[in-house]
């Protein structure tokens, strides 16, 4: 049976401002006060696993242990079928530069690799999100959400974050980058995972 979340303050174990904003918007209807790991100056643990759930567990347990608060972590990424699931857990790594993350560079690399392997159209892909809620006693609960779609080129839209300008979700003609936050938050992989989290831990 899923353990319930009973507090009114939830630590979200992320230093990513875009993810934190999405989490705040998604959890706002439930009266939960959200604080980010970056706002508490918590160190970022090294993500050493090769699965979304493994890395999400690392982040959630590190934050819960450091603060003695339940901590919710998100590990998510874009998996492209023609690239054998890449970038996958390395979605953010593809954007790393010595001065920070450059997602235009990462999206360009994605396009270049698809062109190099002559990937057919439509170029099917999935955005995946794994949430882990960890308690200070070591218990955790896992929730996963998937949004299927396709990657497109050129980039379209300047909303959202990350790879949003090249991802068109199934059933839509617009990229995540062309959707406003409210529209995206109704259908995204993160919204689907949060829906399961809320049903499991607040229901």
By CB atoms closer than 10 A (0-12, 13-18, 19+), residue 136 is: middle
Please tell me the predicted confidence (pLDDT) of residue 193. 95
161 is in an annotated binding site: yes
Among candidate residues 8, 50, 74, 75, the one labeled active-site is 75
- 21 included as an active-site residue: no
pLDDT tens figures, 181-193: 889 989 999 999 9
CA atoms of 170 and 173, how far apart (whole Å): 8
pLDDT of residue 17: 86
Above 80 in pLDDT, residue 203?
no
Instruction: List Cβ neighbours of 46 (8 Å cut-off, separation of 6 or more).
Output: 58
**189 annotated binding-site participant:** yes
Residue ranges per structural domain of the chain: 9-201
Residues 135-159 have a mean pLDDT of 97
To the question of whether residue 137 is assigned a binding role by annotation, the answer is no
**Predicted TM-score of the model (pTM):** 0.90
Residue 145 marked in a binding site? no
Distance (Å, whole) CA 176 – CA 164: 5
| Correct CATH for 9-201 of 3.90.950.10, 3.90.650.10, 3.20.20.70, 3.40.50.2000 | 3.90.950.10
Q: Give residue 40's pLDDT band: very low, low, confident or very high (50, 70, 90).
A: very high
pLDDT tens for each residue of 120-136: 999 999 999 999 999 99
> Which of 130, 138, 129, 126 has its CA nearest to residue 53?
130
């Amino acid at each position: 049976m899923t353990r319930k979340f009973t507090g009114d303050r939830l630590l979200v174990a992320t230093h990513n401002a875009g993810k934190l904003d999405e989490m705040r918007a998604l959890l706002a209807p439930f009266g939960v006060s959200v604080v980010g790991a970056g706002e508490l100056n918590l160190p970022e643990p090294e993500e050493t696993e090769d699965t979304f759930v493994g890395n999400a567990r690392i982040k959630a347990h590190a934050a819960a242990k450091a603060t003695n608060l339940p901590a919710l972590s998100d590990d998510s990424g874009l998996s492209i079928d023609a690239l054998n699931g890449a970038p996958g857990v390395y979605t953010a790594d593809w954007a790393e530069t010595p001065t920070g993350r450059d997602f235009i560079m990462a999206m360009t690399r994605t396009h270049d690799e698809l062109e190099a392997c002559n990937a057919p159209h439509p170029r099917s892909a999935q955005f995946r999100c794994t949430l882990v809620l960890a308690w200070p006693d070591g218990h955790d609960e896992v929730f996963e959400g998937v949004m299927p779609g396709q990657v497109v080129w050129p980039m379209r839209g300047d909303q959202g974050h990350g790879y949003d300008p090249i991802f068109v979700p199934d059933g839509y003609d617009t990229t995540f980058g062309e959707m406003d936050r409210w529209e995206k938050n109704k259908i995204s992989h993160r919204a689907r995972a949060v829906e399961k989290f809320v049903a499991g831990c607040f229901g």
